[in-house]
Amino acid sequence: MMIATYDERRRAGRSLCTSVPRSAHRIWGGLFAPRDPVAVLEAQAESREADLVPIRYGRMAASPFAFFRGGAAIMAQDLATGPVTGLAVQACGDAHVNNFGKFATPERNVVFDINDFDETLPGPWEWDVKRLCASLHVIGLSTGLTLASATTRRCWCTFQVPTPTRTTCSR
């Protein structure tokens, strides 16, 4: 198996920026697609312990963010209609603010990273980024933060800022 050099990986990434520009992610393609989020939850419930499903639904009903947390499958259905670069990763599958935290490494360093992998699956890297940004937006709205949309945009824009080792795609 041939491992690509840094320059080869960079060129490949730049070509993906051309085929799927960031601006393609601004509009959700499934906005008018027929969908039934309750049906998604009920299909998911079939593989769960039946006694616990009402408890799950009760927890999801507690707040918009609680519903968001429990509705990863609904969002996955929504994201499936959007553009992707084709770069698959072992995604968190449920990337939201509460699934990040700090913990110690064996070297006694404190790191900040994903700490919940119970929904992990191979998938597009964009899905985790979009779910994390959406979680910031939902929390902002739930707490009355008037800049929730601006906060979400700033979070997304951190992936667009050039660094010495990373260039940006055109907007």
pLDDT along the chain (171 residues), means of 10: 85 84 75 80 94 96 93 88 87 88 91 85 90 87 70 59 43 39
pLDDT at 32: 63
111 inside domain:
yes
What pTM does this model have?
A: 0.75
Would you tell me how many other CB atoms lie within 10 Å of the CB of residue 139? 20
Output DSSP code: residue 100.
E
Is 26 inside a domain boundary?
no
Domain-embedded: residue 152? yes
Residue 25's pLDDT is what?
80
In-domain check, residue 163: no
Domain that residue 107 falls in: 37-157
Q: What is the pLDDT of residue 113?
A: 86
- Rg of the chain's alpha carbons, rounded to an integer? 18
Residue 130 lies in a domain: yes
Could you give the CA distance from residue 101 to residue 138 in angstroms, rounded to a whole number?
A: 19
Residue 164 lies in a domain: no
Q: How many residues does the chain have?
A: 171
Has residue 94 been placed in a domain? yes
The burial class, CB within 10 Å (0-12 / 13-18 / 19+), for 119 is middle
Q: What is the pLDDT of residue 42?
A: 95
Secondary structure of residue 104 in the 3-state scheme: strand
> HSE of 162 in the Cβ direction (CA atoms, 13 Å)?
7
For residues 166 and 159, is the Cβ–Cβ distance under 8 A? no
> How many domains, in total, are found in the chain?
1
Calpha distance 100→10 (Å, rounded): 28
63 belongs to a structural domain:
yes
pLDDT at residue 165, rounded to an integer: 46
